[in-house]
């Protein structure tokens, strides 16, 4: 078995001990990407030259007797809304398709300092707005379990890259479930940390009070180690918590004996039977392992979806006002500034981004602000208080990750409300700022993975990931990746982009 298919800690140890070089590991990852990209399209950019330079630096440090870090030589993929110096950061949008940041985001820098090798920028729903990666301006990413189905979104490329074994680790952003939902669809582990635990400096903003960077891994241990490296205070982010990075990996094997687990009833009737049954089975497994499990009703959680789809578009309408054809990004000329601005935004933004900007602008407009945005913020406060009350009784909560398993391409594109419902179970933790993780735990009748979500109070990652590790240990075989791309009996989606194409100095954007 290849080292790429083992644990991240073991791979880094093999590189540090010179059993294998970082360059050799990288070349295997690049070969896998080249083989799979035509079918999957996980990447917008493959960073050949930059990645090879990083791998060479890791091997050079080891040869000189220095420890390159916890992730020495580990290939990692980055969602294409994280700024990378010298490499395009497109947010899968035409308005930024040629933009090259002059700096690295904090997470990108910390990964490099830990010895990780960034191999490319992954595809996403444009500006992270979507639940299927069908909104990318450069074409959809496909689910390696079934090429006719979506990988989830918005971090679909990052989830699919780990699920297919192209890279052991990837990073995404989670604004309303954009890590946990694709993790569930693709059979991998996806962690959304406490708001402020991981710096957002260098993350292109969608909704600033909700966005959070998190990790994908094939196992809980891999995702936890990645989060350890990425977390910690950053003075460049005013919302960053002034706390050191938590110790997560060392406690994963402590078990769940004596922990109080609440099973959220309110979602069980709202999701597909395969998803509710997986959550119930997870609770039964935790009870068998020594936890105290009890059903709990938190009806306020159902306020999350309508509140989110006011708050997030409102913040997006403000954040995306900067793309005006003047400062950077796409510019479509016109006879005057107003026309130029309108033409630029019409040509540069896709339909879903335009829809959310209009919703958000309306919600913030005079005469409607209090009725919509103010009311949504009040609902958010009610939800947070309900969470606080629940966590007085329970150490963690268990719920479905998603209302369904991966759906077919085009199944929900004509009905935005149906698509928005994909985030029903994940949105509450974004509104509260609490951590949550999706763990693969079952297969549905079509053989597709189904995730179970573990939720915890703020800074509850150590206990949350202990519970996730306990679930992982008893999950049925075959519920998680890596899997090689599987053909589908349904039609494979077409349109836009192939895979990421390598270019000089870092990469050329697919579809650009």
Distance of CA 382 to the CA centre of its chain: 26
pLDDT of residue 491: 41
> What's the confidence (pLDDT) of residue 485?
80
Q: What is the mean pLDDT of residues 283-296?
A: 98
Kindly tell me if the per-residue pLDDT of 477 is higher than 90. no
Compute, in degrees rounded to 10, the torsion defined by CA atoms 288, 289, 292, 296. -70
What confidence tens digit (pLDDT) does each residue in 335-351 have?
Answer: 999 999 999 999 999 99
Q: Which two tokens stand for residue 116?
A: 């990780």
Q: Which of 173, 178, 240, 404 does the annotation list as catalytic?
A: 178
Do residues 455 and 396 make contact, with C-beta atoms less than 8 angstroms apart? yes
Structure tokens at 146: 């079934």
Lookup: tokens for 511: 């579809």
Residues 294-318 have a mean pLDDT of 97
Confidence (pLDDT) at 503 = 41
Q: How confident is the model at residue 494 (pLDDT cuts 50, 70, 90)?
A: very low
Q: Which pLDDT does position 505 carry in this prediction? A: 37
% of the chain surpassing 70 pLDDT:
95
pLDDT at 327: 86
Helix (H, G, I), strand (E, B) or coil at 286: helix
Q: Where are the alpha helices (DSSP H) in 349-425?
A: 351-363, 375-393, 416-420
Confidence grade of residue 487 (pLDDT, cut at 50, 70, 90): low
Strand-pairing partners, residue 140, are: none
**Which is it for strands 292-296 and 260-264: parallel, antiparallel or unpaired?**
parallel
Find tokens 């990852």 and name the residue: 29
Least confident segment among 102-111, 114-123, 167-176, 486-495: 486-495
Determine which of 248-252, 428-432, 458-462, 485-489 has the lowest per-residue pLDDT on average. 485-489
246-261 mean pLDDT: 96
Pairing state between β 75-79 and 169-173:
parallel
Choosing from 21, 92, 93, 154, the catalytic residue is: 154
Q: Is the pLDDT of residue 160 over 70?
A: yes
Q: What was the pLDDT predicted at 62?
A: 98
> Is 154 designated active site?
yes
Q: What is the pLDDT of residue 473?
A: 97
pLDDT band with cut points at 50, 70 and 90 for residue 484:
confident
**Residue 506 above 60 pLDDT?**
no
Question: What span, in angstroms and rounded, lies between the C-alpha atoms of 26 and 8?
Answer: 14
In the predicted structure, residue 512 carries a pLDDT above the cut 70:
no
Average pLDDT, stretch 326-330? 90
Whether the per-residue pLDDT at 507 is higher than 50: the answer is no
Mean model confidence pLDDT for the chain: 94
178 is catalytic: yes
Q: In what order do the strands lie in the sheet with 75-79?
A: 43-46, 117-122, 75-79, 169-173, 213-217, 189-192, 436-443, 449-455, 396-400, 260-264, 292-296
pLDDT at residue 154 greater than cutoff 80: yes
Residue 371 has pLDDT above 60, yes or no: yes
The tokens describing 291, both together, are: 């936890």
Cβ–Cβ under 8 Å, residues 438 and 471:
no
Does residue 117 contact residue 76 with C-beta atoms inside 8 Å? yes
DSSP lists the bridge partners of residue 43 as 122
267 contacts 399 by C-beta, under 8 angstroms: yes
Instruction: Using DSSP, state whether 295 is helix, strand or coil.
Output: strand
- pLDDT at position 508 is 39
Q: For residues 466 and 502, what is the distance between their CA atoms, to the nearest angstrom?
A: 39
Question: For the domain 11-259+434-493, what is the CATH superfamily, name and number?
Answer: Amidase signature (AS) domain (3.90.1300.10)
What is the enclosing helix (H) or strand (E) of 276?
A: helix 273-288
Which tokens sit at 142?
């496909």
| pLDDT for 95 beyond 50 | yes
Look at residue 502 and tell me whether its pLDDT is greater than 60.
no
432 given a catalytic annotation:
no
Check residue 488 and give its pLDDT: 55
pLDDT class of 328 with cuts at 50, 70, 90: confident
Give the model's confidence band at 458: pLDDT under 50 very low, under 70 low, under 90 confident, else very high: very high
Task: Of 427, 458, 449, 452, give the one whose Cα is nearest residue 438.
Answer: 452
């Amino acid at each position: 078995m290849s080292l790429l298919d083992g644990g991240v800690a073991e791979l880094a140890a093999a590189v540090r001990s010179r059993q294998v070089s970082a360059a050799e590991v990288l070349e295997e990852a690049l070969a896998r990407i080249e083989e799979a990209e035509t079918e999957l399209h996980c990447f917008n950019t493959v960073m050949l030259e930059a990645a090879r330079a990083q791998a060479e630096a890791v091997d050079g440090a080891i040869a000189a007797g220095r420890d390159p870090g916890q992730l020495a030589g580990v290939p990692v993929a980055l969602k294409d809304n994280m700024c990378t110096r010298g490499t395009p950061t497109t947010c899968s949008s035409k308005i930024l398709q040629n933009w090259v940041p002059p700096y690295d985001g904090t997470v990108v820098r910390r990964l490099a300092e830990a010895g990780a090798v960034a191999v490319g920028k992954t595809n996403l729903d444009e500006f992270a707005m979507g639940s299927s990666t069908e909104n990318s301006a450069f074409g959809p990413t496909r689910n390696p379990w079934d090429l006719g189905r979506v990988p989830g979104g918005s971090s679909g490329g990052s989830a699919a890259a780990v699920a297919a074994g192209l890279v052991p680790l990837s990073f995404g952003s989670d604004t309303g479930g954009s890590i946990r939902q694709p993790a569930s669809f693709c059979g991998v582990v996806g962690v959304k940390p406490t708001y402020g635990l991981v710096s957002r400096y260098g993350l292109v903003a969608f909704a600033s009070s909700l966005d959070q960077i998190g990790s994908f891994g094939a196992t809980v241990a891999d995702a936890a180690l990645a989060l350890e490296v990425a977390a910690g205070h950053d003075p460049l982010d005013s919302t960053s918590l002034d706390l050191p990075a938590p110790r997560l990996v060392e406690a994963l094997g402590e078990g769940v004996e004596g922990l109080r687990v609440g099973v959220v009833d309110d979602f069980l009737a709202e999701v597909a039977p395969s998803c509710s049954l997986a959550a119930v089975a997870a609770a039964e497994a935790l009870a068998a392992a020594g936890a105290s499990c009890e059903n709990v009703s938190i009806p306020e959680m159902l306020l999350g979806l309508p509140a989110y789809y006011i708050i997030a578009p409102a913040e997006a309408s403000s954040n995306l006002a900067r793309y005006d054809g003047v400062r950077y990004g796409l510019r479509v000329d016109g006879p005057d500034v107003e026309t130029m601005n309108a033409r630029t935004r019409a040509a540069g933004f896709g339909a879903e981004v335009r829809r959310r900007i209009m919703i958000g602008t309306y919600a913030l407009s005079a005469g409607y602000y209090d009725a919509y945005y103010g009311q949504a913020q009040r609902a958010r406060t009610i939800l947070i208080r309900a969470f606080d009350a629940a966590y007085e009784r329970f150490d963690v909560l268990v719920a479905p990750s998603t209302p369904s398993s991966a759906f077919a391409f085009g199944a929900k594109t004509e009905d935005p409300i149906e698509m928005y419902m994909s985030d029903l179970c994940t949105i509450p933790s974004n509104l509260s700022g609490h951590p949550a993780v999706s763990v693969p735990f079952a297969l549905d009748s079509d053989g597709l993975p189904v995730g179970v979500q573990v939720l915890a109070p703020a800074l509850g990652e150590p206990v949350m990931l202990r519970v996730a590790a306990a679930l992982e240990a008893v999950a049925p075989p075959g519920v998680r990746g890596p899997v090689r791309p599987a053909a589908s009996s349904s039609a494979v989606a077409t349109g836009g982009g192939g895979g990421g194409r390598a270019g000089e100095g870092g990469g050329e954007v697919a579809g650009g």
